[in-house]
Amino acid sequence: MSAQGPRFDVAVAPNGYAWWYIDATSADGRYGLTIIAFVGSVFSPYYKFSGRGRPDNHCAINVSLTGPRGSAWAMTERGAARVDRGRDHFTVGPSGLSWDGDTLVIEIAEISAPLPYRVRGTVRVTPEMIGTTAFALDPAGMHRWHPVAPRARVEVAMTHPDVVWHGDGYFDSNFGDEPLEDGFDEWHWSRAHLKHDVAVLYEGKRRDGTPFDLALKFDRQGRWHDVVQPSPASLPRSGWLVKRATRADAGHAPRVIRTWIDAPFYARTALATRLFGEDAQAVHESLSLGRFRSPIIQSMLPYRMPRAFW
């Protein structure tokens, strides 16, 4: 499917979702950052309990920063009255993303939960390449993935916490016409910046039990081509015992450098690995939607994902 730029104005139908995802690692490897802007927030208990009739009434910007001098987390959901979306901008309450065709600027002004502290700063994401193709993750095309900028330069200037750094990053988006947990039971995803290319690996199990996988390389011009999935490789479970799986060159055992996010149904990890004949550091995620569906997990979510009425 043809795609260009982030397209923040994409239509999201009832039951559907859209998200725009950025990750970055500092040049010295000590800091990790993830920012996800949601329409029809896929993990929102409020969206689920509402019947998912109005995706635009359940939007959030999630910020997760980890590092030695300060970590931060924020994910406050807001309703349609506090949301403004256009082709090149998306604001949710006091925070927002704007795209000028060359750089994505993210202004963050959030409050963490359950412990309230300020999370504020500016992040600039400058792509080195722009992906122009979206990919279906299921045969019916109900869930789609668009790698907007598989390789990008990221500048982080936070005032709360007070940290400034730069490093390599990645920018993509996902769209769906049904709840994520209706389409999938689990998935594992990773991206690795190689010397010339960016490798992106997807694999998992759909809700109907069928497996899926996708392995791609993107060159410096953003052109992509399919590659053969490397060999399966095991990883230790996360602290919450979430299963983690990945791929690596035969005979190589990937190593967990750091677990950036460790949640009851989700883990984000920095890996040292070897892919397509190159040593690399990868950003890796594992998502257990079987766990997410658990009533116990659902009851825990509001403490980390509050909904604001202002």
Q: What is the mean pLDDT of residues 31-51?
A: 97
| pLDDT at site 3 | 62
| pLDDT above 70: percentage of residues in the chain | 99
Statement: residue 239 has pLDDT above 60: yes
Beta bridge partners of 98: 89, 105
Statement: residue 156 has pLDDT above 70: yes
- Entry pTM: 0.96
**140 Cβ partners below 8 Å, 6+ apart?**
none
**Confidence bin at 5 (pLDDT 50/70/90):** confident
Torsion of CA 99, 101, 102, 108, to 10 degrees: 0
The set of long-range contacts for 291-300, using a CB threshold of 8 Å and a minimum separation of 24, is: 291/242, 291/264, 291/265, 292/43, 292/181, 292/265, 292/266, 293/181, 294/265, 297/264, 297/265, 298/45, 298/48, 300/264
How many angstroms separate the CA atoms of 268 and 61, rounded? 17
| pLDDT at site 222 | 84
| pLDDT at site 241 | 96
| pLDDT at site 198 | 96
Domain parsing of the chain, residue ranges = 6-178, 181-304
Instruction: Provide Rg for the chain, Cα atoms.
Output: 18
Residue 169: in which H helix or E strand, if any? strand 163-176
| pLDDT at site 2 | 56
> Quick check: helix, strand or coil at residue 141?
coil
Q: In the chain, helix, strand, coil percent, each to 5?
A: 10, 55, 35
Contact status, residue 135 vs residue 224, Cβ threshold 8 Å: no
Tell me which residue of 35, 41, 45 sits closest to 74, measured CA to CA.
35
How many angstroms separate the CA atoms of 69 and 55, rounded? 36
Q: Tell me the residue ranges of DSSP E strands in 235-304.
A: 245-248, 255-263, 266-275, 278-288
Q: What is the mean pLDDT of residues 169-190?
A: 97
| pLDDT at site 272 | 97
**Confidence bin at 69 (pLDDT 50/70/90):** confident
| pLDDT at site 256 | 97
User: 6-178 and 181-304 share one CATH topology?
Assistant: yes
How many angstroms separate the CA atoms of 178 and 175, rounded? 9
CATH domain 181-304 topology: AttH-like fold (2.40.370)
Statement: residue 76 has pLDDT above 60: yes
Encoded tokens for 276: 């397509």
- Please tell me the CATH superfamily of domain 6-178, with its number: AttH-like domain (2.40.370.10)
**Confidence bin at 131 (pLDDT 50/70/90):** confident
Encoded tokens for 121: 């700063």
DSSP string, 36-74: EEEES-TT-HHHHHTTS--GGGSEEEEEEEE-TT--EEE
Question: 254-307, pLDDT tens digit by residue?
Answer: 999 999 999 999 999 999 999 999 999 999 999 999 999 999 999 999 999 999
Q: What is the mean pLDDT of residues 216-242?
A: 94
